[in-house]
Structure 1
């Protein structure tokens, strides 16, 4: 497996030049007072336009189903048993309508903001769906089985629902945009004339959902003005990393020219650890790439460098996966957890559960539950001193539950509560070390593991990288497997890891 290199798309010569340059980042950058104040304004999560339009699809489908069912009840009465012809027509017609609205781009934000301007499209789509149903009933020779009054009643009520729902959505979207509930928060990386040109271009875009939160640039005020196009420069690139973790930032837009490869690489080496979309401004570049390489804000082209992993509906699917399988796991292992709790209480004094602070998503500190495996007066909540083979701090019961990973079972509750996922990079303790060096000092880009929620089990663990991390090579390999998981995530991948975990736990060589 090759280690993921965030600069692999650049030329080897540019990478060599960057690697030869001295890394001047400050590892302990602290935000200035203005940056902290700005970050505090953006700590609340926003609604993604993708999620809003997705929920509208579901709601529209359900309301059209309801309209068809109510029209049937009004015209024919409450059915004593299912009429499968009507049921198929109502379901098929509602689904076809949503599909046709999707094909006509009727779920795009520009359309949702101005529904009356697109009323003709809605009417054509709804009429087209009814024409398709009528044609299908002719070919199936069951048109005489349907009530014409029901057909007309559903048509009228359905169109009223489509138009009425979109008028309500238009007002909500306008309110959400005004209140900052639905927006994409962006930070401009790089200052000067290039940043001003980019900002002016973004501000000209109609129905722009981008909120620029500030500018960060490593250059001093002589080369990069403190205020660009009315936006303040809040700090340097190292401070940007802390800012993006304190605020809920969605996107970083690098406004440097592509010709400044060394500076672009230097910034990307620092920024790729953040769970945000990273885009490179291309509106003033003469270079042209394949269309798929670009995304757009209005008509402003951006080169896609990194995408936030497990975003929007993927995150919904993963959360549903966690809830369902956490409940299954708790139900299956309840007898084991009860027996373990009794054994711990009988073996030594102290609490049954042990809470440890670990790094979670976006480098936030979370508390992870474990069964206590050490003597209470010798526990190490910070994990500064790793557990070794034959460690005298570990109790008799502790040796068994650590060897079999039973001590990790309470983390099903962490996954159910949402601060852990069932599958993901294993969360390390905040003071975890290798040869008196923090893991961040051993592995460059280590915090990229925190671009997703950490997990109870992970790709690294089922590939043998579990237990004591007593060498630099081990923590590097664990990080490499974690980054591979992040880049290749899917629900099937999660399911594969989850199913393979019990088998891999039979290998207890590195667990003690």
Structure 2
């Protein structure tokens, strides 16, 4: 497929998406009206709102980049962008109808059902299109031909990732390199060619993208390449040599016109932060209501067995390393409790009371932390908070240890449902716990949170490592 055909196909898909968005939200509005209000004939208020929303979708979705190519980009990110764009459209619509004092003319059930149904539709049909495009690309259709300059370790790493993700639709036509010893070799099915033939190859093969995969020290060579190709209308992408870094939600942004690569970002920002806060506050509120009888019974049992407070309060590190006060049911004798220093409980620890032993094994001692969640100090799901003394001990022993504070600490987490809870009496155990925590931060999503919560319910409460 030549470049003009590829461009026509890409533009065609975008035009189809725009049509399907507007046609879909209009059809769903009529169907919901027929289902709930009876009849498919809309009043002027409903008709005007659909026309106005269609205009908003066309305008806002364009500016959100929803109609641009998502080849090779995160589909989860697209869901988040579509959700944010659609939410903005609805907010503007509600504000507009409020200004016209016409909100009473609309059925609330119709509005909610239409809003949710349209959001599901906007994402669902795109996933169907993804499956069709993935199938076509695996059959060899709709590929974008690229060449990679740099046949070293970085270039090979990039090529392997592209080859292992054939669904994104990139096809490497050739490598180019200045090293004569590499010329003629085959990498991921593509031949390494002499860099002197680069310009002629790009013209003859009608290549539209050149990926430069050179280490940072070759800055001058990159400048030379850009100068040599200055007359060509070709998309050039520079692949930064960052595979040696531990990347944590990395992203490229712009500050005062300067492109900036953030290596250790947090996924909980912008719309994601709103989602996470809603998830935490709503769930913790209803969970606290549901477990209140258990809290009352445990509190009485603790008070009857030994003197001292019911709750154990301890200073731990929270989001961005800030100190927070965490609540737990007291499980040890009061004279051994402390706020700053913690000696982890060990097997057959004499400090642990009988009630304390039970609530520790079953994780019931953690239940008061739902109050921390409601206060905004913690999250239901996230890396478990360690006390300050533990952080001081391990921050220099475990690589990237402090990066686990890039999100709020949680009552349960990815590490805990994978068996890394309770005592961490070896460096290896702590390293594995941190590895799982960082995986959670790198791969955070609302779906992952719900998965962890469900797994915690079924297998995460009782664990032989907790005593």
What's the offset of the Cα at 1:99?
1.4
CA-to-aligned-CA distance 1:259-285 (integer Å, 9 cap, x gap): 399xxxxxxxxxxxxxxxxxxxx9999
When structure 1 is superposed on structure 2, of 355-364 and 301-310 the one drifting more is 301-310
Among candidates 242, 261, 278, match of residue 320 of structure 1: 278
What's the offset of the Cα at 1:356?
0.6
What's the offset of the Cα at 1:382?
2.9
What's the offset of the Cα at 1:309?
2.1
Partner of 2:447: 492
CA-to-aligned-CA distance 1:130-150 (integer Å, 9 cap, x gap): xxxxxxxxxxxxxxxxxxxxx
TM-score by length of 2: 0.51
Partner of 1:451: 406
The higher-RCO structure (CA 8 Å, 6+ apart) is: 1
What's the offset of the Cα at 1:86?
3.8
In structure 2, the CA distance between the partners of 1:372 and 1:260, relative to structure 1 (3 Å rule), is farther
User: Structure 2 matches for 1:117-136, cutoff 5 A?
Assistant: none
Partner of 1:310: 268
Partner of 2:60: 102
In structure 2, the CA distance between the partners of 1:301 and 1:398, relative to structure 1 (3 Å rule), is closer
Query: Hey, what's the Cα distance between the residues in 2 that align with 1:283 and 1:315?
Result: 40
Deviation above 6 Å: which 4+ runs of structure 1? 282-287
Query: Hey, what's the Cα distance between the residues in 1 that align with 2:438 and 2:64?
Result: 37
Is the aligned partner of 1:469 residue 2:427? no
User: Structure 2 matches for 1:182-197, cutoff 5 A?
Assistant: none
CA-to-aligned-CA distance 1:28-62 (integer Å, 9 cap, x gap): xxxxxxxxxxxxxxxxxxxxxxxxxxxxxxxxxxx
The DSSP-based 3-state class of the residue aligned with 1:466 is coil
The DSSP-based 3-state class of the residue aligned with 1:339 is helix
TM-score by length of 1: 0.47
Number of equivalenced pairs: 267
CA-to-aligned-CA distance 1:335-358 (integer Å, 9 cap, x gap): 111100011111111111110111
Among candidates 404, 427, 436, match of residue 362 of structure 2: 404
Partner of 1:386: 344
CA-to-aligned-CA distance 1:238-297 (integer Å, 9 cap, x gap): xxxxxxxxxxxxxxxxxxx93399xxxxxxxxxxxxxxxxxxxx9999696359985445
Query: Hey, what's the Cα distance between the residues in 2 that align with 1:453 and 1:260?
Result: 40
Partner of 1:432: 390
Query: Hey, what's the Cα distance between the residues in 1 that align with 2:61 and 2:319?
Result: 36
Is the aligned partner of 1:483 residue 2:409? no
Q: Structure 2: which 5+ runs fail to align? A: 1-39, 66-88, 90-95, 102-214, 228-235, 241-250
Partner of 2:292: 334
In structure 2, the CA distance between the partners of 1:407 and 1:84, relative to structure 1 (3 Å rule), is farther
Is the aligned partner of 1:289 residue 2:247? no
In structure 2, the CA distance between the partners of 1:88 and 1:300, relative to structure 1 (3 Å rule), is same
What's the offset of the Cα at 1:327?
1.2
CA-to-aligned-CA distance 1:297-317 (integer Å, 9 cap, x gap): 575444454433221110110
Q: Supply the RMSD in Å over aligned alpha carbons.
A: 3.7
Partner of 1:361: 319
Task: Say if 1:375 and 1:395, in contact at 8 Å, map to a contact too.
Answer: yes
The DSSP-based 3-state class of the residue aligned with 1:386 is coil
The DSSP-based 3-state class of the residue aligned with 1:415 is helix
Task: Say if 2:340 and 2:387, in contact at 8 Å, map to a contact too.
Answer: yes
Query: Hey, what's the Cα distance between the residues in 2 that align with 1:284 and 1:366?
Result: 53
Query: Hey, what's the Cα distance between the residues in 1 that align with 2:224 and 2:295?
Result: 61
Query: Hey, what's the Cα distance between the residues in 2 that align with 1:295 and 1:450?
Result: 22
In structure 2, the CA distance between the partners of 1:90 and 1:397, relative to structure 1 (3 Å rule), is farther
In structure 2, the CA distance between the partners of 1:399 and 1:260, relative to structure 1 (3 Å rule), is farther
Query: Hey, what's the Cα distance between the residues in 2 that align with 1:371 and 1:291?
Result: 51
What's the offset of the Cα at 1:474?
0.5
In structure 2, the CA distance between the partners of 1:388 and 1:301, relative to structure 1 (3 Å rule), is closer
The DSSP-based 3-state class of the residue aligned with 1:362 is helix
What's the offset of the Cα at 1:364?
0.7
Task: Say if 2:266 and 2:441, in contact at 8 Å, map to a contact too.
Answer: no
Partner of 1:371: 329
Q: Structure 1: which 5+ runs fail to align? A: 1-81, 108-128, 130-152, 159-256, 262-281
In structure 2, the CA distance between the partners of 1:94 and 1:369, relative to structure 1 (3 Å rule), is farther
Query: Hey, what's the Cα distance between the residues in 1 that align with 2:225 and 2:376?
Result: 43
In structure 2, the CA distance between the partners of 1:333 and 1:258, relative to structure 1 (3 Å rule), is same
The DSSP-based 3-state class of the residue aligned with 2:395 is helix
What's the offset of the Cα at 1:85?
3.1
Among candidates 62, 67, 92, match of residue 50 of structure 2: 92
Task: Say if 2:383 and 2:437, in contact at 8 Å, map to a contact too.
Answer: yes
Task: Say if 2:362 and 2:462, in contact at 8 Å, map to a contact too.
Answer: no
In structure 2, the CA distance between the partners of 1:306 and 1:418, relative to structure 1 (3 Å rule), is same
